[in-house]
Structure 1
Amino acid sequence: MRLHNKVAIITGGASGIGETSAQLFASEGAKVIIADIDQEKIDRLVQSIQSKGYQAHGMKCDVSNEFDVKQLMTTAVNSFTKIDILFNNAGTILPKKLQEITSDEWDNLFEINVKSMYLTIKYATDCLRNCKGSIINMASMTGVVGQQNNAAYSATKGAVIALTKAMAIDFAPYEVRVNSLSPAGVRTPLFENWLQKQENTEQAREAQDRSHLLGRTASSLEIANVALFLASDDSSFVTGENIVVDGGATIGYAAGPKPEWDHVQLKKISKSEV
């Protein structure tokens, strides 16, 4: 098992990519601490993981609140004595035009998406140094290429990528690795909620699928698998990197209009023709 006897904190860990990562990390031998703001989801996930014979602990935590983050780290150490992996997955979106965003909305987004990482890294530093641990920060392809009507979110994710690189430099002498993940579209509850707010949900879903060169959005497991790689010793010589997991969406920006996939024709292609 790739995470045998490792202790992993996953923020935003009770749904979406965080939930899938918690299940995956636990199945690979990690003792998982799930931090989230939804106690009901935390309890349900912890019970699910424990029912399979794995170790998990849950804690309600507002990752933008300094007191909560301090308590999270104390709980992790009290429960499992150490912290090997910090997966900063918690985050939210604000799909609005810049001129429509209030100052409070802007500040709140940065507190959840960026300040939270400052706090978790700050209060996990000593433990991570002792274990020569791994930090994984959830960024986004929008932090690489931007996105229409999503300026504030793009700004937070650009900040996450820059923070990751700076912390990788600072932590390198202690052999603590710091990397970020930048997905494109991922089928999560947050993504589905955004789709439901669009004028035509199915049309928006199809447009999102077509925006990826592979013609679809990702599953949460496809992102969690990359997080597992960064958490494990398989990536022992990888630090300061922003791993883009986007089905070709970012190079699609440079390529121009996205290809209109004819799914019917694609299904007719035989192996001999490939």
Structure 2
Amino acid sequence: MKLDKKVAIITGGAGGIGLGIATAFAKEGATIAIVDLNKEAGDAAIEKLQKISPQSIFLQADLTVRTELPSIVEQVVTKLGKLDILVNNAHASRMKSIEEMTQEDIDLSFNTGFYPTLYLMQAALPHLKESKGTVINFSSGAGLNGDVNQGSYAAAKEAIRGITRVAANEWGQYGITCNLISPIAKTPGIEHWGQENPESYQAILARNPLGRLGDPEKDIGRTAVFLASEDASYITGQTMMVDGGSIKLR
């Protein structure tokens, strides 16, 4: 039980990678607050999660409303008593070339990804100081590789990577670790995209030495468990490539 009695916030926790992480955390003893805009998905997810972690909760929230972000942290601390782990997983974007990209596209990516990540980190900091806690954010191969038609997404992900590394340097004095996961995972969204773009989907698999997409719980979730546990207490400011070897950082 690597996360026994720890409390975690996971944004975008009602499905995909977020739910995979929540499930992996719960199996290691953590109590989870999943935060998601989709109430129907959130209700279904928390029903399953509470069978493993009975005290876990679901908070419906629109992360683009910046003034409400501090209240997410405060609600969790009030209901669950403390905060040990912040996982900023939620992000939405549109695939467009730079030539076609609009201000609306940029705003969507930054307002659902970068800004919630930053402001939730700020709101969580006093509580993470008390717990000597952990921040896990998400970068992407789209930013590292400069994938075509991913301009707004790549820009926001690299901004998240930058702020996470700065936080690692600034917050290390408090015993807080801040790391990133750059995943490739078989989520419903990726499967749907693969059906519509079979050639691109096969190209992703062809570049993957392990020849498969990651499992949201067993691959991405277990990595997040490691980063949130005492096993990773001397790791901070790092980008963990959980992508089957598709990208090899130097």
Task: Mark yes or no: TM-score above 0.5.
Answer: yes
> What is the SS of the residue equivalent to 2:95?
coil
Question: Do the aligned residues in 2 keep the contact of 1:30 with 1:55 (CA within 8 Å)?
Answer: no
Aligned to 2:187: 188
In the alignment, the residues of structure 1 paired with residue 3 and residue 51 of structure 2 have an alpha-carbon distance, to the nearest angstrom, of 19
Matched, 1:250 2:208: no
How many residues end up aligned between the 2 structures?
Answer: 249
For structure 1, the 5+ residue unaligned runs are 255-274
9-18 or 61-70: which moved more?
61-70
The equivalences for 1:226-245 within 5 A come to 226-245=223-242
Alpha-carbon distance between aligned partners in 1 of 2:18 and 2:86, rounded to the nearest angstrom: 12
Residue 72 (1) aligns with residue 72 (2): yes
In 1, Cα distance between equivalents of 2:196 and 2:71: 35
Counterpart code for 2:237 = G
1:52 shift after superposition = 3.5
Question: What residue is the counterpart of 2:14 in the other structure?
Answer: 14
Shift of residue 53, structure 1, vs aligned partner: 5.1
1:1-274 matches, cutoff 5 A: 1-52=1-52, 54-183=54-183, 185-198=184-197, 201=198, 203-221=199-217, 222-251=219-248
Query: Contact 1:13/1:22 (CA < 8 Å) preserved in 2?
Result: yes
1:77-121 Cα offsets, whole Å, 9 max, x none, are: 111111000000111232210111111111121111101111110
CA distance in 2 between counterparts of 1:93 and 1:187 reads: 18
Once the two structures are superposed, what CA deviation does each residue of 1:177-204 show, in whole Å capped at 9, x if it has no partner? 1001111x31112212333443xx3x33
Distance apart, 1:215 and its partner CA: 1.8
Question: Which SS does the other structure have where 1:54 is aligned?
Answer: coil
**Contact 1:35 / 1:58 at 8 angstroms: preserved in 2?**
yes
Asked which structure has the greater CA Rg, the reply is 1
Distance 2:246 2:66 in 1: 36
Q: What is the TM-score with the length of structure 1 in the denominator?
A: 0.86
- CA–CA separation in structure 2 for the residues paired with 1:196 and 1:96: 19
Amino acid in structure 2 at the alignment position of 1:27: K
Is 1:64–1:119's contact at 8 Å kept on the other side of the alignment?
no
**Could you tell me how far apart the structure 1 residues matched to 2:229 and 2:187 are?**
24
Identity among equivalent positions (%) equals: 33
The whole-number CA distance in structure 1 between the counterparts of 2:117 and 2:202 is 33
Deviation of the 1:234 alpha carbon: 0.9
TM-score in terms of structure 2 length: 0.94
Looking at structure 2, the residues matched to 205 and 99 of structure 1 have their Cα atoms a distance apart, in angstroms, of: 24
1:206 offset after TM fit, Å?
1.9
Q: Distance in 1 between matches of 2:213 and 2:129?
A: 36
> 2:17 & 2:169 partners in 1: Cα distance?
27
Q: Does the 8 A contact of 1:142 with 1:158 survive in 2?
A: no
Question: Runs (4+) of structure 1 moved beyond 6 Å?
Answer: none
Query: Which of structures 1 and 2 has the larger relative contact order (alpha carbons within 8 angstroms, sep 6+)?
Result: 2
Residue number in structure 2 paired with 1:263:
none
When residues 103 and 111 of structure 1 are mapped into structure 2, their CA distance, relative to the original with a 3 A threshold, is same
Amino acid of the structure 2 residue aligned with 1:114? F
Deviation at 1:63, TM superposition (A): 1.9
Which residue number corresponds to residue 261 of structure 1?
A: none
